[in-house]
Amino acid sequence: MSRKDSAGRPPLRVAVLGSGKGSNCQSIIEAIEAGRLNVRIVCVISDVENAFILERARRRGIPAFYLSAAPFKTKLDGAAELRYVETLREHGAEVIALAGFMRMIKQGLLAAFPNRILNIHPALLPAFPGMESWRQALDYGAKVAGCTVHFVDAGMDTGPIIVQRAVPVLDGDTAETLHARIQTEERIAYPEALRLLSEGSLAIEGRRVRLGNSPYSFPCCFQSVAISIL
């Protein structure tokens, strides 16, 4: 499919990498199908052979591959990294969307796709990087939690921030209820960030990502907090 948007741009060619159930990948697919996102998912790759994200992609006819990242457990490096770069290039990926890909991205992939790798993290970065950040937020006693879509750099959850969406932490929350509330926002945040990127609206200036003339991004980012304050 080579549909163009109203400005005549062809779809942005995005590869999605994930290790798990793929709900973020699903939200991207749905935004594309609804005509809200000028993106084509050129392939989905997982480092977990039976990850449901692969099944979701195959159901939609999207090329989906299991690519082992052995022998490493927590990073994508060495020969495995080369295999990933090769497959991404073969499919003509312009941008990589990490969606629950449970490995650190190293220099080879970063250099192959400079400022073209995005990640979603279930916290309002820079607070609570790393694992189970919703639980970290709850245990810390934070009153506001949320999610962040950011560019990927060599650090863990440290790259320039594109979109954040906030949710309140409620008195009765458990790790599970808070995580579910955050995930609802993730499904809005990732398509939104990709939309901005596909429209050429993003400019990275140091740590700051300018969103250009995006009429929706600012209110969207703060919607949930605004609702909880009212």
Considering the complex, state which of residue 122 and residue 159 has its C-beta at the smaller distance from ligand GRF.
Answer: 122
Residue 167 DSSP one-character state: E
Is 121 a residue of the active site?
yes
Among 31, 37, 44, 122, indicate the residue that binds ligand GRF (CB under 6 A).
Answer: 122
Please tell me whether residue 191 binds ligand GRF under the rule CB under 6 A.
Answer: no
Report which residue type is found at 101: F
Please tell me whether residue 135 binds ligand GRF under the rule CB under 6 A.
Answer: no
Q: How far is the CB of 147 from ligand GRF (least distance, A)?
A: 6
Please tell me whether residue 168 binds ligand GRF under the rule CB under 6 A.
Answer: no
Q: How many CB atoms are located within 10 Å of the residue 172 CB?
A: 5
Nearest residue to 35 (alpha-carbon basis) of 9, 63, 3:
3
Query: Given strand 39-46, what is the order of strands in its sheet?
Result: 64-66, 39-46, 12-17, 95-98, 117-121, 144-151, 161-168
Nearest residue to 78 (alpha-carbon basis) of 49, 102, 103, 98:
103
Please tell me whether residue 164 binds ligand GRF under the rule CB under 6 A.
Answer: no
Q: How far is the CB of 111 from ligand GRF (least distance, A)?
A: 23
Residue 107 DSSP one-character state: H
Among 47, 77, 173, 186, indicate the residue that binds ligand GRF (CB under 6 A).
Answer: 186
Among 12, 15, 18, 105, indicate the residue that binds ligand GRF (CB under 6 A).
Answer: 18
Binding to ligand GRF, residues 30-59 (CB under 6 A): 53
Considering the complex, state which of residue 90 and residue 176 has its C-beta at the smaller distance from ligand GRF.
Answer: 176
* Cβ contacts of 103 within 8 Å, gap of 6 or more: 19, 47, 69, 72, 74, 75, 76
Report which residue type is found at 26: Q
Q: How far is the CB of 119 from ligand GRF (least distance, A)?
A: 7
Pairing of strands 117-121, 144-151: antiparallel
Please tell me whether residue 22 binds ligand GRF under the rule CB under 6 A.
Answer: yes
Q: How far is the CB of 198 from ligand GRF (least distance, A)?
A: 19
Residues forming the site for ligand GRF (CB under 6 A): 18, 20-24, 53, 99-100, 120-122, 183, 186
